Structure 1
Amino acid sequence: MTFEYLADPSGRPAWEGVLPGRPHPFFLEAGQGEHAKLFVDTFSVLLSGDETEGQFGVFTSTCPPGEIIPTHAHDQTHETFYVLEGAIRLYVQMPDGDQVSRLLGTGDFAFVPAGAEHAYRIEEPTRLMGVSSGGFERFFQTMGTKVDDPTADTPPFVPDGPRMGAAAQQFHMDFLPGFDWSRA
C-alpha cells in the first residue's frame, strides 16, 4: 500500500473497476487505466486478458532514462515494444545465439517472442505501448505498487527479492544472468 491510500481505508486504487473485466466494449479517456509503479517506470494497463478472454493485453509505460532492465525471458508471453516517443535500446538473443542490440526511436517497433532472452535500457524519457499475451500486463501491478495518478511524481518502488521471485513465478518469467551486451 502506498501513502495515497491512507485517505481510503479500503486500500483500493481510484481506478479500480475502470476495466470491465470481461469482453465488453468500453472506452478510456486520456490518463485512465490501471496504474502501477515499478522501479522508476509507471505502467498503465489499458486492456487486460480479462477483456480479451486471455488472448492479449495492452499497456503503456512512461520511463525516465536509467539502468538496464535485467536480462529475462517470458516462457509463455509474446511481447511488443512500440515507441510512442523517446528512445529505448533493446537487447535480444536471436534463435541462432547471436546477441543483437537495436536502438528504437519514436515510431519504431519490436517484437520479442515467448522464450527469447532480452533486456532493455531507456536512453531518453520515453513513452512505450506494449501488447503482450493475455494476462502478463498485470505483472507490473504484482511486482510493483498500484498508483492512482500515472502523471504524479511518485517515488520509485523497488520490490524485494521474494516479491520479484513470486511475480516471476506467477507470470512464467525467468530473470537470467546478464549477457555481455557490449558484444551486441
Structure 2
Amino acid sequence: MEPVQSASLTAYKRTTALDSTMFYMGNVMSFLARGEDTGGRFALMEAQAKPGNEPSPHLHEWEHETFYVLEGVMEVYCEDKVMLAHPGEVVFIPQGKPHAFYIRSPHIRILILVQAVGDRAVGLDRYFTQMAEPATSMNLPTEAVTYLMDDPTHATRLGEANGIRFLSPEETAKELPHYPGFGANLEKIGQ
C-alpha cells in the first residue's frame, strides 16, 4: 500500500469506544488512528493486555514503533537492552530492530504508535485487524486465543504481508541475548 496524498485526508475525532475496538489475541485494541486515516504515515492504538498475551519476538520492516505506558509495567527487550517501562514512560523501537516484551503487572494499558519509514505505508494496524475480531466489550476477553495457543504460521503469513517478521529461536538468541524466551514462566525467573 502506497501512502495517500494529504489533500484527500479528512479531520476526525475518535476515542477508545466499542465501535473502534477489537479483541486481538487476548488483548483489547482500540484503533485511534489507522494508516488509512493518515495517508499511511502513522497509526495509533490503545491496547489493554495481561501477562501471557505478548507476541513472540519480531521486527517491523516498514515502521518505527513507540510504546507509551498509561497503566502497568512492561519489560522490553531490544538489542542488548532490557528496558522496564512504567506509567508515563516511552520506549522507542527503530524500524528493523528485533524486539520482544513481557507484561510485568497484572494488567497493562499502553499507547502504540507506529510511524512509516520510507515510501511504504504502516502495516501494524492492518495486521492487528486481520488477527482480531470485533470486540463485544471494553474488558479483556476471558477465553481468548493468544500467541501461545495460535498456529504460528497464521501470524507469520499475515505478518509478512504487513511488514512484520517473526524471529526464529536461533535469531532471537542472537539478537536478544537477555530475552528469557517466548512463553517463559516469569514467576520462575524472578518476576
Task: Give the C-alpha shift of residue 154 in structure 1.
Answer: 4.6
Percent identity over the alignment is 24
Q: Hey, what does 1:82 align to over in structure 2?
A: 68
Q: 1:55 aligns with which of 26, 41, 59?
A: 41
Q: 1:175 aligns with which of 158, 161, 166?
A: 166
- The partner residue of 1:129 within 83, 105, 111 is 111
Closer, same or farther: CA 33–102 of 1 in aligned 2, 3 Å: farther
Q: What CA RMSD, in Å, does the superposition of the two structures yield over aligned residues?
A: 2.1
* Partner of residue 144, structure 1: 132
Tell me the SS of whatever aligns to 1:169: helix
Q: Which runs of 4+ in 1 moved over 3 A?
A: none
Alignment of 1:22-41 (within 5 A): 23-32=9-18, 34-41=20-27
Describe the superposition over 1:32-90 as per-residue Cα deviations: whole angstroms up to 9, x where unpaired.
55322232222111101111111101001001123653211111121000001110000
Pick aligned residue for 1:117 from 79, 95, 98: 98
Decide which of 21, 25, 32 is 1:46's aligned counterpart: 32
| TM-score relative to the length of structure 2 | 0.73
Residue 139 of structure 1 aligns to which amino acid in structure 2? Answer: Y
1: CA distance, partners of 2:9 / 2:142? 32
Q: Is the 8 A contact 1:144 1:157 kept in 2?
A: no
User: In structure 2, do the counterparts of structure 1 residues 73 and 109 end up closer, same or farther at CA, with 3 Å as the change threshold?
Assistant: same
SS of 2:134's equivalent in the other structure is strand
Which one has a larger percent strand, Structure 1 or Structure 2? 1
- SS at 2:129 equivalent: helix
Query: What's the TM-score, normalizing by structure 1?
Result: 0.76
Specify every segment of 5 or more residues in structure 2 that has no aligned partner in the other structure, as ranges: 1-7, 116-121, 181-191
Question: C-alpha offsets along residues 121-165 of structure 1, whole Å, 9 cap, x if unaligned?
Answer: 011111000110334212111123332433264521244233212
Count of aligned pairs between the two proteins: 157
